[in-house]
Amino acid sequence: MTQTDIATWSGEIYQKLLRHRVRQVAYVPDAGHLHLIERCIESREMVSVPLTTEEEGVALLAGAWLGGDRGVLLMQSSGVGNCLNMLSLPRVCEMPLVMLVTMRGECGEFNPWQIPMGRNTEKLLTTAGVLTFPVDESGRLEEVVDSAMRKAFEGPSAVAVLISQRILGVKNFGK
């Protein structure tokens, strides 16, 4: 997967966010979201909100929904654990939540510290009542993000698209 490929699917996801009238984009950065975050920051249709921890984003987007805005939360899988208690908010209130999660800790992971969260990301989200949509082919990403957002905003439901390291490439710290 080259930077050009990542820029291509990031552009496709950005178009889907526009199509679904997403206005607030909350994020804790990840290298896999680099291009998408840049597109959202430049966007005149969106407000980009960098967070200090991912759970802030869950609460932020609940407030956004109360006020009539749609949002998405961008993060890497290690941030999912930070969100667990806060996920009770969209669940109890039946509010939409869209999480786009770039995976770490999968096959080929260089950093063993990423494995405990990475290996349990989907299980934890499912336990917390979030519908998961794993994707491991870049060609399917646009379609899956589209159907996940439809599910979230029409449900309303909490959903997470899990973007595999197969799509992102493996970070190896130059080794």
Partner 1 sequence: MDSERSKHYPLYRRQVVARLLRDRGDMLVVAGLGASAWDITAAGDDPLNFPLWGAMGGAVPMGLGLALSQPGRRVLVVTGDGEMLMGLGSLATVALQSPANLGIVVLDNEHYGETGMQSTHTAGNADLAAMAIAAGFPVCDTVWDDAGLEAALPLIRNGKAPVFLNIKIRAETPPLVLPPKQGVVLKNRFRLALLGAEE
Identify each DSSP E strand in 51-90 by its residue range.
70-76
Range 109-168, binding partner 1 (CB under 8 A): none
Least distance in angstroms from the C-beta of 129 to partner 1:
13
Least distance in angstroms from the C-beta of 61 to partner 1:
6
Tell me whether strands 97-102 and 158-163 are parallel, antiparallel or unpaired. Answer: parallel
Residue 66 sits in the site that holds partner 1 (CB under 8 A): yes
Rank residues 57 and 118 by Cβ distance to partner 1 and give the closer one: 57
What does the buried/exposed string (b/e) look like for 80-91 if buried means 16 or more CB atoms within 10 Å of the residue's CB? Answer: bebbeebbebbe
Residue type, 111: N
Binding mask 77-96 for partner 1 (x = CB under 8 A): --------xx-xx--xxxx-
Binding mask 29-48 for partner 1 (x = CB under 8 A): ------------------x-
Sheet holding 158-163, edge to edge: 47-50, 22-27, 70-76, 97-102, 158-163, 131-135
Least distance in angstroms from the C-beta of 114 to partner 1:
22
